């Protein structure tokens, strides 16, 4: 009788041991290690965590939006520096009130606050600045190169070495502007950051 009990206890202990091994091994291999993950999986994880993440920020004038190249070019007025960033489907754009806009609604010559990934030269977000000086589609300006001002009626707007001219012939300068030119001015206070020629005096 004692021998049968001993045999039964041995079988019971053996079964418990097998069950413990099975439980401890359960789930192994369901999560691949980082070493075994493919580059595509790692890239997907990076992209999934990217929205809103950036390492650089700037306030700059948009000079060109190129859908062909998938890029937006900027000009930092304070540093007098031009640079270009790529954009993708995760990049976001907003007007001066914070409402979402499309790529087509980004206005060249206007000032924007931007964030981006400098190492990838990739735009993360773009939001229009509420500039204090905005005069759209206006003619009747005269340039006083000596005084470095742009005059409109009784108002004077300061021109600096950082003021840029957009939408004009590459041979034209601010001094070449005429009163019949239709311009858009953007800047802060009375200081002009950008002048965009909407319709030049030589345009029919």
Half-sphere exposure of 64 (CA within 13 A, CB side): 14
* 92-151 pLDDT, tens digit each: 999 999 999 999 999 999 999 999 999 999 999 999 999 999 999 999 999 998 999 999
Q: Among residues of the chain, what percentage have pLDDT more than 70?
A: 74
Residue 87 · residue 114 · CB < 8 Å: no
- For residue 7, name the pLDDT band (cuts at 50, 70, 90): low
CA dihedral 43, 48, 49, 54 (to 10 degrees): 80
| pLDDT tier at 183, thresholds 50, 70, 90 | very high
Read off the pTM: 0.74
CA Rg value for the chain: 32
């Amino acid at each position: 009788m004692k021998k049968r009990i001993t045999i039964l206890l041995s079988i019971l202990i053996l079964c418990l041991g097998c069950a413990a091994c099975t439980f401890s091994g359960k789930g192994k291999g369901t999560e691949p290690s980082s070493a075994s993950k493919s580059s595509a999986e790692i890239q997907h994880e990076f992209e999934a965590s990217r929205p809103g993440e950036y390492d650089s920020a700037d306030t700059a004038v948009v000079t060109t939006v190129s859908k062909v190249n998938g890029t937006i070019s900027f000009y930092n007025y304070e540093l007098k520096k031009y640079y270009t960033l790529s954009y993708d489907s995760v990049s976001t754009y907003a007007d001066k009130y914070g409402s979402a806009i499309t790529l087509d609604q980004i206005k060249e010559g206007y000032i924007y606050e931007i964030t981006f990934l400098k190492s990838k030269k990739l735009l993360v977000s773009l939001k229009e600045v509420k500039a204090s000086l905005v005069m759209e589609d206006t003619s009747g300006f005269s340039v006083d190169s000596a005084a470095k001002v742009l005059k409109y009626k009784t108002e004077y707007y300061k021109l600096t070495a950082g003021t840029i001219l957009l939408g004009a012939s590459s041979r034209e300068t601010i001094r070449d502007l005429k009163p019949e030119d239709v311009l858009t001015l953007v800047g802060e206070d009375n200081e002009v950051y950008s002048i965009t020629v909407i319709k030049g005096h030589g345009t029919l």
